[in-house]
Amino acid sequence: MDRIKRLSMEILEEHKSQFGVDFGDNKKTLDKISIIRSKGLKNEIAGYITKLLKHEIRDQQLKEERAKQSAELESQSEEIEATEESDSVSETIEADTEEP
């Protein structure tokens, strides 16, 4: 794992709640919690943290959407099954009533 990833992960382990999806805010947060003399290194770490958090949020939203779609499909299939059962019961009743 390269230096940027390792440093970013170490920072996120202890201070994840302080970071968000805004690069500028993440740079300011890095200034508060650490001393990074190199402007380029600070920018790379803040950028990597921002990218990670955005990916986490996107992945979480995708999982929620998939779960929602799955629940909708399940409820639709249950409705179809219930409709089919009631149709077959009514057909059976009609067939029974038509016999002499």
The CATH number that domain 3-98 falls under is 1.10.60.20
Looking at residue 77, its pLDDT comes to: 81
Looking at residue 98, its pLDDT comes to: 56
Task: Write the pLDDT tens digit of every residue in 15-68.
Answer: 999 999 999 999 999 999 999 999 999 999 999 999 999 999 999 999 999 999
pTM above 0.75, yes or no: no
Cα→Cα distances 71→48, 57, 74, 76, 78, Å: 35, 21, 5, 9, 11
Asked whether residue 96 carries a pLDDT value surpassing 60, the answer given is no
